[in-house]
Homo-oligomer: A and B are copies of this chain.
Amino acid sequence: MTSPADSPFLLACRNRPADRVPVWFMRQAGRSLPEYRALREKHGMFDIICTPELAAEVTMQPVRRLGVDAAIFFSDIVVPLKAIGVDVELKAGVGPVINPPFRTAADLDRLRPLEPGDVPYVAETVRILLGELHVPLIGFAGAPFTLASYLVEGGPSRTYARTKALMYGEPDTWTELLSALADITSAFLRVQVEAGASAVQLFDSWAGALGPDDYQRYVLPASAEVFDGLADLGVPSIHFGVNTGELLPLMADAGADVVGVDWRVPIDVARERLGAGVAVQGNLDPAVCLSPWTAVEAKVRDILDRNARRPGHIFNLGHGVLPETDPQVLRRIVDLVHALG
């Protein structure tokens, strides 16, 4: 058993040389795995998340099958909201639905701080995992902007028009909303780290809907609050979103040790934008995993070549595993990265 601090994943998070390039996959636990689908036939999503044995089992599945260098705590982006009493439903084929949505200052009263007692299953899941895992566990949470977008839109969106209307139109309400969400997110991650998670990843999946000025003004302060709130815990942090080519340096400025990059920005370009002090995670297009293996292999090699063996690279996809992905392809990617990196 590797001591976590010496694991390739944690060394890469710290931008230090490791004996191989670590690799894991966003959404590695989930619908691409038959053993996950079998479990989902019997249990709802929130049932799994709130039942420590099931959540731990689902978190372990990809570690066993794929040989990845890190596990990520199985949860959903809206879990901390549901835990403090926000009415959230996970609609199949749609995503999280919040009814009624958040639209005015009065809706701020629907949020309250998250206490560890609101999510007793989280620490328990982490404890089970610590007994089984031989790789580091990454804590999981959605970032304030992305959470706010679900609250304000009432569900997934293509344009974030209502979110932006609130942001531009009622900046004070917006700031309060994001600050409240930062507290909730920070508390949710703290529970995971205090129970034993070795790193955290903040998913600001939809922040790339904003240009850099708006990101800096309306989003970065709240994401920085999340990282600041965890600083005393001493674990490395990863900050991720899609379509964030213009936001990469700002996402590092928010306080992350590692910035996740989608496939639109070549990884060497991303590293230039981020500067030498920041580690990088990515950036294989998940759609490539549905292509013939020769194409997958060429892309994996290209990413490793572009990074030119610089320390501080965690191999990952540029977004989550697509449900229709063959897990054997993921396994071959892990083996290839380990062989080459």
Q: Digit string of A275-308 for contact with B (CB within 8 Å is 1, else 0)? A: 0000000000111101110010000001000000
User: What is the CA–CA distance of A221 and B169 in the complex, to the nearest angstrom?
Assistant: 44
User: What is the CA–CA distance of A266 and B322 in the complex, to the nearest angstrom?
Assistant: 31
Minimum CB–CB distance from A250 to chain B (whole Å) comes to 13
Copies of this polypeptide in the complex: 2
Q: Digit string of A146-188 for contact with B (CB within 8 Å is 1, else 0)? A: 0000000000000111101100110000000000000000000
User: Could you say which of A18-26, A206-214, A231-239 contacts chain B?
Assistant: A206-214
Chain B hits for A302, CB < 8 A: 213
Q: Is A265 an interface residue (CB 8 A)?
A: yes
Minimum CB–CB distance from A159 to chain B (whole Å) comes to 5
Q: Which of B208, B269, B291 contacts A246 (CB 8 A)?
A: B269
Contact between B164 and A287 (Cβ–Cβ < 8 Å)? yes
Q: Which residue of B lies closest to A263 (CB)?
A: B211
Q: Which residue of B lies closest to A159 (CB)?
A: B287
Q: Is A243 an interface residue (CB 8 A)?
A: yes
Q: Which of B213, B264, B322 contacts A243 (CB 8 A)?
A: B264
Chain B hits for A169, CB < 8 A: 291-292, 295
Chain B hits for A324, CB < 8 A: 161
Q: Is A245 an interface residue (CB 8 A)?
A: yes
